[in-house]
Structure 1
Amino acid sequence: MEHKQEFERVVEKKVEHTVKKVVKIIAFVILGIIVFLLANYLLMRLWNWIMPEVFGLGTVTYWQALGIFVLAKLLFGFGGGSGKSKGKSDHKKRIQHNKKCTPWRRDFDEWKHYDQFWQEEGEQAFKNFVDNIKNENHDKEQ
């Protein structure tokens, strides 16, 4: 009996969450449509207020203003910015990041010679180093 009630509560919460999401989505779609229509109305009013006096053009209807609005969006973009400018800023960031790391990279590039050094000089140099340490420790003990 408890399991059934718990299951019902879980399902009820999921349904409630889903309904809230759907209502929010519908509200945002309606709000977007209203904003779009108001922007179009504003464009029509501004056109009819400015263009006939300044350029001698005729007035436009609401639907003509909608056409001008859509045409302007197609020609000049939708305001989200283009991927090219974003790519340039990413490129600049990479260049700046590379400038910060160049000393480290230069040091890292020198490590490619490590194996050759170890074969030629390193093993003997390490043995000399260990002998020096042993001699210093031996001298300190006496």
Structure 2
Amino acid sequence: MRRRFYRGRFILIPLAAVAFMALTGFVVMNLWNALLPAIIHVGAITFWQAIGIFVLCKILFGFGKGGGHRMGGGAPWMRRKMEERFKHMSPEEKEMFKARMKDNMCNPRGWGRHGRDKFESYWDNPKPEAEKAAE
């Protein structure tokens, strides 16, 4: 039984991939043709154009490895960098950092040039304002 499965996987895996692409192309084509011509007045597409759009979207937007925008997501080097910075922070500094991150995430204008300048200045001098005044 096991030997038959190992021999059959060379046929089943490519067949499953082709079936998945065919189903995906069919779904993309039907959704496009049902929604977009009426909404934004574009032309209908063929099956092969739908496959091309799907592949292009996967190349541009990723292959589903999770959200990089969440605190736990993103590139491994970014996570290591943040973990290294967090290791050397006191609990008060961590709380201040989290509050600033939350403020910047909730405030769309916070990610503009002015918001980044505030955020980067924290890493240049991470001491809280109270400690600066006490010195």
Q: What TM-score do the two structures reach when normalised by structure 1?
A: 0.47
- TM norm structure 2: 0.49
Which protein is richer in helix relative to its size? Answer: 1
